[in-house]
């Protein structure tokens, strides 16, 4: 019987170990398995080990253990879930206390393509935001020693922790978003931690930001004057390259040399004349590329400004056309006057209409001359002088009065003077070609220095050769079209055309062969020869101009030149004064930065004293007064607005906050502190004086 009972007990224990659903998994009957376990449990009730295995104490203990095991297995398998959990906790003991995780530090090593240095972030909460491919090392401390741990990331990724008693560290590659958590174990048991899941975020690579510093707005410039462009560019990684973009009749992109970096400041110059395809103007902006591999190179653009290119040659051609029309009209009007000694009504009407047309054309010419010539230029002064004289003679006649003979004399004088002006204008036109030649040559030299492509440099040389050929043709027609003094000058007769053309051809060959050293030497030689010759031409033109104008105009021009010299001197003095002022301001700012910590500490001490004084004054009023309670019998009730103290402390807080950010705003807030303090003091004094006068206890009550 004892053996039969033992077999039932052992069978029941085995079946109970299958657990819930174990019978179905093994293809057995769940009902029969349950009945077997129940039978084993019933037999175990009141069973004495001595009866099962009499005379053997060890066997008795074994039977007791088997009975307990069978009963426990039955309760675990078919008992309520709460009961099973209680038995598990009873067997394993209480769950371990969570280990505290703190003093977290992140070491971020960005990938090589970013060009960023490693960074160490201490005292963080464990969240990570970094570029894809960053090597992340998390370090921290535990409240008690652990045996092992692991980092559990998204998509089932797990990395073992390096645990040394209460310190741990783990390293992984940051390449996906999601969250991670830390798991620890001690003595073979999992130990929860106080560090919950922490976020993993991939940092997006932004576009570079570009600021166009100069030009500040739309601008009108001479086509033969170089335009200077200044800019600043920033990127979260680095700015790799920058280009000036000009969009006119065609688009022109000019690379800018710079050292890549997270923040770059740069400047560049370009000559509108060197890019004739732009037309009469272009929109200018600056483009910057980051050049990284995070998500492909991205570009950022600055604001755009519009540049109008004023061509001296175009203006000179317009002025020459206007002067030729004006000369023809002057001669025709003079002939009309001479053919009608005593004009009738119809003839006078024609003369009046012709005079009005003549003045309108003169006004148009004067506007163009002002646009083309600088203040004080002899050509502009001459045209304005002619216009003033003609208007003074014609307008009275057109109004029905005036002296007709004076009109005829003025017309004769102006026709002769205008003919000389046309000759001077053609001379100025030839000199403007020289200015363009010099500008193109300087631009070529600059492009050589900055390493422009050979193709661009060769195109520039071809432009210079064509312009030099045009200038030679213009000067060859000097006789009769230009002032005699200029046409017969040595600089005109001895133009170094062949020498320059040969040097330009040699420069073109050197550029095509990639010989930059020889190209730079030839460019410098051409620039020197060209500069010397153009200076001689300019001197000859000035001499011819002085000889062609009357003494009064020459005197006016000299006065204008003196005024310009004085203005330039005044600007130099002003610039020096501003520089001295900037230096003084910089020294004062440096001194303020050195003294600022001590200054702020003194001001904070004063503010603390004000607050303490306000609280001491408030303490004179018993607490019941501030809570709206009535005064004691025989006391003096005085109204005390509850907002006075808060006004004072609020004003002090505003000044304290402003001290760290804006000293000007802090100074503006000081009167508010004084006013609030005075209001608080004023509200206390009457009550104190009244109580002292009557020798009565006092309190304050608040206004509703």
* H or E segment and range at residue 97: none
Token pair listed for 48 = 């004495």
The residue whose two tokens read 């004739």 is 276
Do 235 and 206 form a contact (C-beta atoms < 8 A)?
yes
Q: What is the mean pLDDT of residues 395-421?
A: 81
Q: What is the mean pLDDT of residues 4-15?
A: 67
For residue range 240-259, list pLDDT tens digits in order: 899 999 999 999 999 998 88
Quick one: pLDDT at residue 171? 96
Q: What is the mean pLDDT of residues 103-107?
A: 94
Quick one: pLDDT at residue 546? 57
Quick one: pLDDT at residue 126? 93
Mean pLDDT over the full length of the chain: 77
Q: Given a cut of 80, is residue 368 above it in pLDDT?
A: no
pTM of the model: 0.47
d(CA 59, CA 532): 127
| CA R_g for the chain | 50
Instruction: Choose between 108 and 672: higher pLDDT.
Output: 108
Q: Given a cut of 60, is residue 700 above it in pLDDT?
A: no
d(CA 648, CA 672): 8
For residue range 345-360, list pLDDT tens digits in order: 888 888 888 888 888 8
Token pair listed for 611 = 């607050």
**Residue 317 burial (CB count, 10 A):** 13
Do 533 and 491 form a contact (C-beta atoms < 8 A)?
yes
Quick one: pLDDT at residue 575? 74
Q: Given a cut of 50, is residue 637 above it in pLDDT?
A: no
Q: What is the dihedral of CA 629, 633, 636, 642, to 10 degrees?
A: -10
Quick one: pLDDT at residue 170? 95
Token pair listed for 249 = 């009749």
Q: Is 453 helix (H, G, I), strand (E, B) or coil?
A: coil
Quick one: pLDDT at residue 273? 84
Quick one: pLDDT at residue 531? 82
Quick one: pLDDT at residue 626? 38
Sheet holding 162-164, edge to edge: 119-122, 101-109, 134-142, 167-174, 162-164
For residue range 178-200, list pLDDT tens digits in order: 999 999 999 888 999 999 999 99
Instruction: Choose between 599 and 592: higher pLDDT.
Output: 599
For residue range 25-44, list pLDDT tens digits in order: 666 677 777 777 777 777 66
């Amino acid at each position: 019987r004892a053996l039969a009972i033992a077999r039932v007990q052992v069978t029941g224990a085995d079946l109970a170990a299958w657990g819930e659903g174990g019978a179905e998994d093994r293809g057995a009957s769940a009902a029969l398995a349950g009945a077997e376990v129940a039978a084993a449990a019933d037999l175990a009730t009141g069973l004495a080990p001595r009866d099962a295995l009499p005379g053997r104490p060890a066997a008795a203990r074994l039977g007791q253990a088997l009975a307990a095991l069978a009963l426990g297995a039955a309760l675990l398998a078919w008992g309520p879930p709460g009961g099973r959990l209680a038995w598990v906790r009873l067997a394993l003991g209480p769950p371990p206390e969570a280990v505290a995780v703190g003093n977290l530090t992140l070491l971020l090593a960005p990938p090589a393509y970013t060009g960023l240095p490693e960074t160490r972030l201490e005292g963080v909460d464990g969240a990570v935001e970094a570029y894809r491919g960053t090597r992340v090392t998390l370090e921290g401390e535990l409240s008690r020693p652990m045996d092992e741990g692991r980092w559990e990331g998204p998509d089932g990724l797990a990395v073992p922790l390096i645990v040394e008693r209460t310190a741990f560290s783990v390293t992984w590659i940051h390449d996906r978003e999601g969250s991670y958590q830390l798991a620890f174990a001690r003595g073979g048991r999992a130990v929860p931690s106080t560090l919950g899941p922490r976020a993993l975020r991939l940092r997006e690579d932004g576009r570079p930001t570009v600021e166009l510093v100069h030009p500040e707005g739309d601008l009108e410039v001479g086509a033969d004057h170089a335009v200077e462009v200044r800019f600043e560019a920033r990127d979260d990684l680095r700015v790799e390259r920058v280009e000036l973009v000009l969009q006119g009749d065609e688009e022109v992109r000019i690379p800018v040399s710079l050292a890549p970096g997270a923040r770059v400041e740069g400047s560049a110059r370009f000559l509108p004349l060197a890019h004739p395809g732009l037309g009469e103007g272009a929109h200018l902006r600056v483009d910057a590329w980051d050049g990284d591999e995070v998500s492909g190179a991205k570009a950022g653009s600055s604001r755009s400004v519009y540049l109008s290119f004023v061509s001296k040659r175009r203006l000179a051609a317009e002025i020459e056309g206007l002067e030729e029309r004006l000369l023809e009209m002057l001669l025709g009007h003079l002939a009309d006057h001479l053919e009608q000694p005593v004009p009738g009504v119809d003839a006078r009407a024609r003369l009046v209409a012709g005079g009005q047309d003549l003045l309108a054309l003169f006004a148009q010419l004067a506007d163009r001359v002002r646009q083309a010539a600088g203040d004080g230029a002899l050509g502009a002064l001459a045209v304005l002088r002619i216009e003033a004289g003609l208007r003074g003679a014609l307008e009275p006649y057109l109004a029905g009065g005036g002296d007709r003979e004076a009109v005829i004399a003025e017309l004769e004088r102006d026709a002769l003077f205008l003919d000389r002006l046309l000759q001077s204008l053609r001379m100025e036109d030839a000199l403007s070609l020289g200015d363009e030649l010099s500008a193109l040559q300087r631009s070529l030299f600059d492009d050589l220095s900055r390493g422009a492509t050979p193709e661009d440099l060769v195109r520039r040389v071809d432009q210079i050769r064509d312009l030099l050929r045009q200038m030679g043709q213009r000067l060859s027609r000097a006789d009769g079209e230009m002032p005699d003094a200029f046409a017969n000058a040595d600089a005109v007769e001895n133009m170094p055309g062949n020498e320059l053309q040969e040097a330009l051809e040699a420069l073109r060959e050197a550029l095509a062969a990639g010989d930059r050293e020889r190209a730079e030497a030839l460019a410098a030689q051409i620039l020197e020869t060209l500069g010397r010759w153009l200076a001689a031409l300019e001197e000859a033109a000035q001499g011819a101009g002085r000889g062609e104008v009357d003494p009064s105009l020459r005197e006016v021009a000299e006065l204008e030149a003196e005024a310009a010299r004085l203005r330039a001197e005044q600007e130099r003095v002003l610039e020096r004064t501003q520089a001295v002022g900037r230096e003084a301001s910089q020294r004062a700012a440096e001194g303020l930065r050195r003294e600022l910590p001590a200054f702020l500490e003194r001001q904070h001490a004063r503010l603390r004293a004000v607050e303490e004084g306000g609280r001491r004054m408030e303490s004179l009023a018993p607490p019941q007064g501030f809570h709206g309670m009535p005064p004691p019998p025989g006391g003096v009730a005085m109204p005390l607005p509850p907002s006075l103290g808060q006004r004072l402390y609020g004003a002090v807080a505003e000044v304290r906050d402003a001290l760290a950010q804006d000293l000007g705003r802090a100074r503006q807030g000081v009167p508010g502190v004084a006013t609030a303090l005075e209001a608080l003091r004023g509200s206390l004094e009457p009550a104190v004086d009244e109580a002292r006068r009557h020798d009565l206890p006092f309190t304050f009550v608040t206004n509703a």
